[in-house]
A and B are shown apart, each in its own frame.
Chain A
Amino acid sequence: MHVARYRKVLSMLIGLVALVSSASFAADGPSVTEAWVRAAPASVKAHAGYLILHNSTSVEASVIGTTSPQYERAEIHLSRIIDGVATMTRQDQITVSPGGTLKMAPGGFHLMLMNPKAAIREGDTVGITFHMATGKTLSFTAMVKKAGGMSHDNHSGHKHDDQPIHKMN
């Protein structure tokens, strides 16, 4: 009797835990973490955003466009340094393989956010939406923060592990 009741409570608890955890992963599509926008002086009209895009699904996830209500234009760009020359090219789409992640970090993939509609300062948040090839959207917020060079947002320890600028030569 007592045992049966415990079992019932236990199974209810397990059910509840399962429900809560499935709720927190309810967005069973691609997700974004560690999104931030590099703070810039007020008169600078082009900002860069960085993030990690996770694809926990079993199919490729492609971002085919990005928008922010706080900027007139937003695009995905790729910076590279080839033979000592920095270049930046617009990317029509970025694709993350099933189960993979894509890190958008200084010196590589980044969001190019152009012409802020109002001043954007350190400590603000920026709303960003990714438009996926599936027709779905993925919205997230990015913190605006000031960052240096080597010590940008790299919490991973060794500073050479994650060279922020990709050397291609």
Chain B
Amino acid sequence: MPAMTATAKKGLAVFSLFVIGAVALAGVFALQRDSGMPDDLRGIAFANPAQLQGVALAGAKGAITFPATAQSRWILLALGYTHCPDICPFMLGNLAEVEAELRGRLDSTEMPQFVFLSVDPARDTTALLAEYVAYFSDSFVGLTGPRQAIDRVAKQLGAFYRYGPKDSDGAYGVDHSAEIFLIDPYGRLFGRFQPPLDPQETALKFESARQFFQQTKT
């Protein structure tokens, strides 16, 4: 009898493993099928993009609601500040390369708007921001606003920033999200890119995002 029990146990164990494997496989399959999201957008796009509420910000041309309520363009947004000498110029230079790549592929009406949101309004005036972003591309837009407005945008994006301590000269650094936020034409947070962005890969992913948006928009 002990021999029988051992065999039965072994059988049960094998059967259990088989069931666990089948459930896991089904789970993986279900996850892949859940939203019909293209493979190349996995890890970038959100399954359920959140609607962003418009926030009053300031740009070179004055007050602006961001994202605009009647928005029709995609937005690629980077967060930062102009006293950031390393990461921010790198990200903006990288975005300019992505823009150049997209220009070769898309009509002007299909082009996304590139936005740099300064989280350091005390030092970044809208005039300084305009000069700063134009250095990377004529079409880039610089936005900032009161800290509460920036906080509202950051919170909705799931973005983070934090001021470092001031030194004896009053200089300070700001830690900030280094992701590129992708906002769809409905003003929803569609996804996030992690720099550095390969211009060709990013252009393909952006086209994929546009197609997916067209297929699934309601």
Q: Point out residues on A near B: beta carbons under 8 Å.
A: 38, 40-48, 73, 77, 79, 81, 84-89, 106-107, 110, 112-114, 147-152, 159, 163-165, 167
Contact = CB atoms under 8 A, between A and B. Distances in A.
Contact of A106 (B82, B90, B95, B96): B90
Contacts of B91: 149
B39 interface: no
B93 A88 contact: no
B18 interface: no
Contacts of B128: 43-44
Question: Across chains A and B, which 8 residue pairs bring their CB atoms closest together, nearest first?
Answer: A149-B94, A48-B85, A86-B178, A148-B93, A149-B93, A86-B87, A46-B85, A41-B135
A47 B84 CA distance: 8
Interface size class of B (residues with CB under 8 A): 35 or more
B208 interface: no
B87 A79 contact: yes
Contacts of B169: 73, 114
Contacts of B134: 41
B94 A85 contact: no
Given A84-B160, A84-B179, A86-B175, 11 more contacts: A38-B89, A81-B178, A86-B84, A86-B177, A88-B84, A88-B173, A106-B90, A107-B90, A114-B171, A149-B95, A150-B196
B105 interface: no
B195 interface: yes
B40 interface: no
Given A73-B169, A165-B195, A87 B175 contact: yes
B176 A149 contact: no
Nearest to A72: B169
B89 A45 contact: no
Contact of B94 (A88, A150, A167): A150
8 contacts: A41-B131, A43-B128, A86-B87, A86-B176, A88-B84, A114-B169, A149-B95, A149-B197
Contacts of B173: 87-89
Nearest to B128: A43
B3 to A, nearest CB: 53
Interface in B69-117: 80, 82-87, 89-97
